[in-house]
Chains A and B, each alone.
Chain A
Amino acid sequence: MTPQEKAEFDRRRRQRNLVVGAVLLGFVILFYAITIVRMGD
């Protein structure tokens, strides 16, 4: 793997990790909100 390929590899992996992290965080917040709403029913 050339240094350029390595840099691209790292960039894509970092971006993907960030997106997956953001999605997971979003679901954590959503499930928390759903639980609160559901408990109030």
Chain B
Amino acid sequence: MTATAAPIATPLPADWRDFFALTKPRVMTLVVFTGLCGLLAAPGHIHPVLGFTAILCIALGAGGAAALNQWWEADIDAQMKRTANRPLPGGRLRREDARDFGLLLSGASVLVMGLAIHWLAAIILALSIVYYAVVYTMWLKPRTPQNIVIGGGAGAFPPLIGWIAVTGEITLMPVLLFAIIFMWTPPHFWALALFVKTDYAKAGIPMMPVVAGERATRQQILAYAAILLPLAAAPWFIGGTGAIYGVAALALSAVFLVLSVQVGLRRSQPDDAMRPEKRLFAFSILYLFALFGALVIDRLVLA
């Protein structure tokens, strides 16, 4: 009896752009920006080559964590319109390749940070990756409607790491920068969740508007925005920055609060265009860029 060998289908090698997409480049721009601001605003001096290396490591670490996040969430991503065309649910990349790529980036970023900068920054970087990929993505995101509050912690690490890369120690100022992003994340993301909530419900993610209802979400957006105002100004109050940052922080946070009040006090109608929510989401991105930009300008002027 002769057996005819079935032709073996050779899968196409993955396009390098799909690996790049795994790192969530758009999120990475915010990570690089806040990390760079932390680095530039920190008291002290770092050689430009080492400063570049530190930011590169923060970016690679964030990219690695994002790849691990997409590896873990491929099934969830496939169910949501916004994420269905990512490389894994789109079938353009193998899951285990995404996992290995994420582990490689994560490991390499921590190692290089430790060897080139110092190990405190490397340890905090490793902590941020584990926090995002394991504590947030694998553990708490699918289990609690407070997932965004917890996820905010992951996004808050870059300025802290950038600062520590220069000073080599953890002081109140970088912790405040951490706290600002931590408090900024819930209103930023819940504003988005309010106008894409149907997708999250379909994917079974307990996003706040789905679980606690729209009204509770709006109230919490308002609460976080109210806390953010004094917190954003705190670096000025404790004497860590000059008036340039202080005035910018108060003005930006006041606008943020006004937009949050508009979102917090309204209720959506059927077929609502959700304009205030979209406006708050768009402003929240501008807010973070402007706030941290002011921090750096303030430091450069003072110096």
| Contact (Cβ within 8 A) B12 A34 | no
| Contact (Cβ within 8 A) B50 A34 | yes
Task: Please judge, given known A-B contacts A1-B10, A34-B49, A37-B50, whether A15 and B116 are in contact too, CB under 8 Å.
Answer: no
Task: Please judge, given known A-B contacts A30-B53, A33-B49, whether A38 and B12 are in contact too, CB under 8 Å.
Answer: no
How many angstroms between the C-alpha atoms of A38 and B49 in the bound complex? 10
How many angstroms between the C-alpha atoms of A19 and B18 in the bound complex? 12
| Contact (Cβ within 8 A) B50 A15 | no
Cβ proximity bits A3-36 to B, threshold 8 Å, 1 near / 0 not: 0010011001101100100000000001001100
Contact of A37 among B12, B15, B47 (CB under 8 A): B47
Near A by CB (< 8 A), chain B positions 24-63 give: 47, 49-50, 52-53, 56
Q: Which residues on the B side are within 8 Å of A37 (C-beta)? A: 47, 49-50
Assess whether B13 is interfacial by the CB under 8 Å rule: yes
Q: Which residues on the A side are within 8 Å of B14 (C-beta)? A: 12, 16
Contact of A9 among B12, B49, B52, B56 (CB under 8 A): B12
How many angstroms between the C-alpha atoms of A5 and B9 in the bound complex? 11
Q: Which residues on the B side are within 8 Å of A13 (C-beta)? A: 13
Q: How near does chain A come to B44, taking the closest CB pair, in angstroms?
A: 14
Task: Please judge, given known A-B contacts A37-B47, A37-B50, whether A12 and B13 are in contact too, CB under 8 Å.
Answer: yes
| Contact (Cβ within 8 A) A34 B15 | no
Contact of B13 among A16, A30, A33, A34 (CB under 8 A): A16
How many angstroms between the C-alpha atoms of A33 and B52 in the bound complex? 11
Q: Which residues on the A side are within 8 Å of B56 (C-beta)? A: 30
Near A by CB (< 8 A), chain B positions 167-206 give: none
Near A by CB (< 8 A), chain B positions 1-15 give: 10, 12-15
| Contact (Cβ within 8 A) A8 B49 | no
Q: How near does chain B come to A32, taking the closest CB pair, in angstroms?
A: 10
How many angstroms between the C-alpha atoms of A37 and B47 in the bound complex? 8
| Contact (Cβ within 8 A) B12 A12 | yes
| Contact (Cβ within 8 A) B50 A16 | no
Contact of B15 among A1, A5, A15, A33 (CB under 8 A): A15
Q: Which residues on the A side are within 8 Å of B50 (C-beta)? A: 34, 37
Q: Which of A5, A13, A37 has the most CB of B within 10 A?
A: A37
Q: Which residues on the A side are within 8 Å of B12 (C-beta)? A: 5, 8-9, 12
Q: Which residues on the B side are within 8 Å of A8 (C-beta)? A: 12
Q: Which residues on the A side are within 8 Å of B47 (C-beta)? A: 37
Q: Provide a sorted-by-A list of 8 A–B residue pairs whose CB atoms are within 8 angstroms.
A: A8-B12, A12-B14, A13-B13, A16-B14, A16-B15, A19-B16, A30-B53, A34-B49
List 13 additional A-B contacts (Cβ < 8 Å) besides A12-B12, A37-B50.
A5-B12, A9-B12, A12-B13, A12-B15, A13-B13, A15-B16, A16-B14, A16-B16, A30-B49, A30-B53, A33-B49, A34-B53, A38-B116
